[in-house]
Structure 1
Amino acid sequence: MVPAPPQTQALLLKGGTLYTAADGVLINTDLLIEHGKIVAMGKQLAANNAEVIDVSGKHIYPGLIALNTQIGLNEISMVRSTVDSGEIGSFNPEISSATAFNADSEIIPTVRANGITHAHIVPAGNGLVGQSVLVNLDAWTIDDAKVAATGQHLVWPAIDAPAATQEEREKQATELNEQISDIHKNFAASFHYYQAAKAGALAQKQQSYDAMQPLFERRASLFVHADKLNSIESAAALARQYGLKLIIVGGYDAWRAADILNEINASVIYTHMLSMPLRHDDPIDLPYRIPSLLAAANLPFAIGFSGDWDTRNLPFAAAQAISHGLSSELSLQAITVNAAIMLGQQDMGVLAPGYRANLVISKGDIFDPKQHGVEALFIDGRLVDLNNRHKQLYQKYLNR
């Protein structure tokens, strides 16, 4: 699978059903692409010297954006030498997932086959684990793939399950308090460094603190991985203290903290669409209804599907939200334009003139695993090869 070259000829898609993610659904509508951008949409468009493709009866969507993934960092999870998703230590703001991203991963083409054009590559670990990067999924190297650095990731400490004895529970609480205290100490030191740098009073440069400056300048977001209400509230208090742009990742209880999060203009990447309930007394369908609860609370959100190879299930995770109260339009926005905006991209995730020509052509509803059938995928107007290892193995054993 060779990455596609830049678009050199105008492309006119005729007569498709366009799911714009901004202006509803446009039936029997043409779409014109030039120089990697959408330049026109409408009825009976014409363009000199354009390649014309009849897409009558086909469904056209913006390219899907996979959030909170380790695509290109993990290849075979059981083979340690192919896993490069994190570093040791609990304060690594200078670490970037771009350093380890493998644009030649065999997983990438299998993910593209379900309509995913871009991925948000996130480091793993505990504490402040480092910087994420947005990449396109058809590239030779990270230099070709990288769209933008997106922010720092903080995994908020939490007690997953209380210990069996009082003594062990007290030990858990002590360790948790120490971890939270370390977070506040690191942020305080980083902020003092930022203030000194701003005043021109730095005695010596420090790489880790340097990497934190974009947070305080609001040029980057702080992604806090947290699910429980108390953790989300603590993250919101930290963001308020330093005036940070906050994005909650996970967000199981985010709808319960909507007032607090809306007050500081925070947003949520919800990642539990195909999960079981977090608590034994939660309704069995609560994880699937949470996107509709976030929408009802007017809390900006996107849907992510954490992982690497299994990220290809992203459209079906969004489909679960549709079947539990979220509209198709909002579900599409949750994996396209909302994701793009959270990552600082204002020209992605929508079918409209002026936006990047990242789009998917499907023979049916992209949310339906029985119908969707992705037939073509474009990244910046480049027609991407949809061959992949899964298809190769299917053909190999079909002809055995």
Structure 2
Amino acid sequence: MKPLPLVTQELNKQLEQVKAQSIVNKKMSMITKRVLFYFSLGCIVTLPAYAHDMIPAEAQSTAILFTNASLHTVIDGVKLNTDLLIEDGKIKAIGQNLIAPKARIIDGTDKHIYPGLIALDTSLGLVEVEMMRPSNDSYEVGEINPQLEVITAFNPDSEIIPTIRVNGITHAQVVPQGDSLAGQSSLVSLDSWTVEDALVPTQTAFHLYWPRLGRLSQDKEKRLEQTDKYDQRVADISQAISDGYRYFLASKVNKINKLDLRWQSLLPLYKGEAQLFVHANTQKQIEEAASLAKQYHFKLVIVGGYDAWRLGELLNEIEAKVIYTRTLSLPMRKDEPIDLSFRIPALLKQAEIPFALGFSSDWNSRNLPLAAGQTVAYGLTKQEALKSVSLDAARILGVDDMGAIDVGYKANLVVSKGDILDPMETKIEKVYIDGREIDLNNRQQQLYQKYLKR
């Protein structure tokens, strides 16, 4: 049977197109081919970095009884040779010789059980490869963005997350970055299928990055230009907060003429239902932030807080808290003692300022236990250091059932053979989030095992 004329014409047309494309391909320059090759190779290499292959644990279905363990409760000291019962994702009982016929028994002899650690001021799930701009979702354009919620950009499948929780970190505060009002942070679980599963309810937290006045120039004109620029940025922040306050007053009497998402999102802050996290380190920055918070009766948390210990009276007057993030850093000023950064947590304790330790990073936030351990050598007790990365961190975020081992608290637990704050001794064997045993495998361990067999 001969093909129909129309079909024959169409086939001939397609053949001509194929021949033409072949000629174009032959004329393509070698440079263009290399560009396409490396682009394709880059896609192949980077795609796996956006999703790890560890399967999130299922909800706890069987009660678990740990026996004869050392419980670092944070609330009530260390309980030696003590049993711990967890059920339905929460701690049900603590004591000696507990009986739970239907529970799975785990011998805790010679083992330590800690509450899961909480990493504050991180960019986990927002940054995958620091040198690749497309994999960095921590910034947004513009300076006044209080309406932005960082959870919308959080990637629960980040390859970095399993490398963090293997060090006993079960939750993280994911924080937006920026130059002024950067948006709202979220507390997330580090084992989840989706963003919704990861999100832990907390008080709304707005993040404001206070302008920084760097080293002043010796040239009078340049110095004046620096100070003027700083004053203008501070004035812009004050104006934005003032605009938001007027919007708040108008909302109270139902006289909002035009909906503004920026000021609408800020309403909980003016109502006292949210906290303002101000990223500031120097005394000048902290004093100006405290003055702003006092004027509008904001609940203030200073993030960074290098000079906060010098302002104990001011911060305690407005009931401000501090997230100190420079435990492993060098001094900010040349004329300061080399160990000042290490001693500041103890100085905050002496000033009676409520504080917790943070580690401002993505992949490097895994060093949070090391940072807490460092403070033990410079004035804090082991219990105070552990509390600063567990219970105190939870309380600063407005969470009252995490960060400690006590009846009714969430079963976020770390089982270790050694001191969790000492990287030379600790050997974490199990991690539980809401009573679910988490897979501690990760990309780094996979690569280690791979090249171990080479």
Q: Shorter chain as normaliser: what TM range?
A: over 0.9
Q: Which residue of 1 aligns with 2:140?
A: 87
- From 193, 205, 220, the equivalent of 1:151 is 205
**After the TM superposition, which of the residue ranges 160-169 and 4-13 deviates more from structure 2?**
160-169
**Given the alignment of the two structures, is residue 330 of structure 1 paired with residue 387 of structure 2, yes or no?**
no
Q: Which residue of 1 aligns with 2:429?
A: 375
Helix, strand or coil at the partner of 2:185: strand
CA distance, structure 1, for counterparts of residue 101 and residue 288 of structure 2: 58
Equivalent pairs: percent with the same residue?
51
CA distance, structure 2, for counterparts of residue 217 and residue 3 of structure 1: 38
CA distance, structure 1, for counterparts of residue 76 and residue 351 of structure 2: 22
Unaligned runs of 5+ in 2: 1-53
Helix, strand or coil at the partner of 1:318: helix
The normalised TM-score by structure 1 is: 0.99
Q: Give the CA deviation at 1:88.
A: 1.2
CA distance, structure 2, for counterparts of residue 21 and residue 218 of structure 1: 29
Q: Which residue of 2 aligns with 1:268?
A: 322
Helix, strand or coil at the partner of 2:402: coil
Q: Give the CA deviation at 1:160.
A: 2.4
Structure 1 counterpart of 2:131, one-letter code? M
**Given the alignment of the two structures, is residue 51 of structure 1 paired with residue 77 of structure 2, yes or no?**
no
Query: Can you list the C-alpha shifts for 1:234-289, whole angstroms capped at 9, x where unaligned?
Result: 11111111111000000000000110000010000000000000110010000000
CA distance, structure 1, for counterparts of residue 411 and residue 271 of structure 2: 31
CA distance, structure 2, for counterparts of residue 231 and residue 138 of structure 1: 36
Q: Give the CA deviation at 1:96.
A: 1.1
Structure 2 counterpart of 1:142, one-letter code? V
Q: Give the CA deviation at 1:188.
A: 0.5
The normalised TM-score by structure 2 is: 0.87
CA distance, structure 2, for counterparts of residue 31 and residue 289 of structure 1: 35
**Given the alignment of the two structures, is residue 31 of structure 1 paired with residue 99 of structure 2, yes or no?**
no
CA distance, structure 1, for counterparts of residue 223 and residue 74 of structure 2: 48
- From 180, 187, 192, the equivalent of 1:134 is 187
Unaligned runs of 5+ in 1: none
Written as runs of structure 1 = structure 2, the 5 A alignment for 1:89-238 is 89-149=142-202, 150-238=204-292
Structure 2 counterpart of 1:102, one-letter code? N
Q: Which residue of 2 aligns with 1:19?
A: 72
Helix, strand or coil at the partner of 1:376: strand
CA distance, structure 1, for counterparts of residue 61 and residue 278 of structure 2: 41
Name the structure where helix makes up a greater proportion of residues.
Answer: 2
Q: Which residue of 1 aligns with 2:441?
A: 387
The higher radius of gyration belongs to 2
Q: Which residue of 1 aligns with 2:117?
A: 64
Q: Which residue of 2 aligns with 1:360?
A: 414
Q: Give the CA deviation at 1:169.
A: 1.4
CA distance, structure 2, for counterparts of residue 165 and residue 104 of structure 1: 51
Q: Which residue of 2 aligns with 1:3?
A: 56
Q: Give the CA deviation at 1:166.
A: 2.0
Query: Can you list the C-alpha shifts for 1:61-101, whole angstroms capped at 9, x where unaligned?
Result: 00000000000000000011111101111100011110100
Helix, strand or coil at the partner of 1:268: strand
**Over aligned residues, Cα RMSD in angstroms?**
0.8
Written as runs of structure 1 = structure 2, the 5 A alignment for 1:292-371 is 292-371=346-425
Q: Give the CA deviation at 1:165.
A: 2.2
Runs of 4 or more, structure 1, over 4 Å off, are none
Q: Which residue of 2 aligns with 1:249?
A: 303
Q: Give the CA deviation at 1:181.
A: 0.2
CA distance, structure 2, for counterparts of residue 55 and residue 36 of structure 1: 19
CA distance, structure 1, for counterparts of residue 417 and residue 445 of structure 2: 18
Structure 2 counterpart of 1:313, one-letter code? N
Q: Give the CA deviation at 1:164.
A: 4.7
